[in-house]
Structure 1
Amino acid sequence: MMNLTVLLFEDFETLDVFGPVEIFGRLKDKYQVSFCSLAGGIIKNEHGISIVTERMNDLRNEVDIFLIPGGHGTRAAVNDDGLIEKIIEICGQSKYVLTVCTGSALLAKTGLLDGRKATSNKKAFDWVITQGQHVEWIKKARWTKADKFYTSAGVSAGMDMSLGFLSDIHGVDYARKVAFEIEYNWIEDMEEDNFYLQYHKKNADIRVDS
Structure 2
Amino acid sequence: MQKVNFLVFDDFETLDLFGVVEIFGRLKESYDLKFVSLEGGVITSSQQTPIVTEPISSIDTSGILVVPGGMGTRKLVDHHEWTEQLTKLSLLAPYVLTICTGAALLAKTGLLNGKKATSNKRAFDWVISTNQAVNWQRKARWVVADKYYTSSGVSAGMDMALGFIADRHGKACAQKIAYDIEYVWNDCPQEDFFVGK
TM-score by length of 2: 0.98
Deviations 1:17-45 (A, max 9, x none): 00000000121101111111111111012
CA contact (8 A) 2:119 2:151 kept: yes
CA contact (8 A) 1:160 1:187 kept: yes
1:26 paired with 2:26, answer yes
* Structure 2 partner of 1:160: 159
CA distance in 1, matches of 2:38, 2:52: 12
Unaligned runs of 5+ in 1: 203-210
Q: Percent identity?
A: 54
CA distance in 1, matches of 2:156, 2:77: 21
CA distance in 2, matches of 1:163, 1:83: 28
CA distance in 2, matches of 1:64, 1:36: 12
1:67 paired with 2:71, answer no
CA contact (8 A) 1:16 1:101 kept: yes
TM-fit CA distance, 1:58 = 2.5
TM-fit CA distance, 1:137 = 0.3
User: What is the SS of the residue equivalent to 1:12?
Assistant: coil
CA distance in 2, matches of 1:35, 1:95: 17
* Structure 2 partner of 1:140: 139
Task: Count residues in correspondence.
Answer: 197
CA contact (8 A) 1:142 1:152 kept: yes
Give the aligned residue type for 2:165: L
Q: For 1:183-198, what aligned pairs fall within 5 Å after superposition? A: 183-196=182-195
1:181 paired with 2:180, answer yes
CA distance in 2, matches of 1:152, 1:31: 21
Q: For 1:62-101, what aligned pairs fall within 5 Å after superposition? A: 62-101=61-100
TM-fit CA distance, 1:4 = 0.6
CA distance in 2, matches of 1:184, 1:166: 15
Question: Which structure has the larger Rg?
Answer: 1
Deviations 1:38-72 (A, max 9, x none): 1111101231211111111222x233210000000
CA contact (8 A) 2:46 2:70 kept: no
CA distance in 2, matches of 1:125, 1:77: 17
Give the aligned residue type for 1:65: I
CA contact (8 A) 1:5 1:63 kept: no
TM-fit CA distance, 1:174 = 1.1
CA distance in 2, matches of 1:82, 1:62: 17
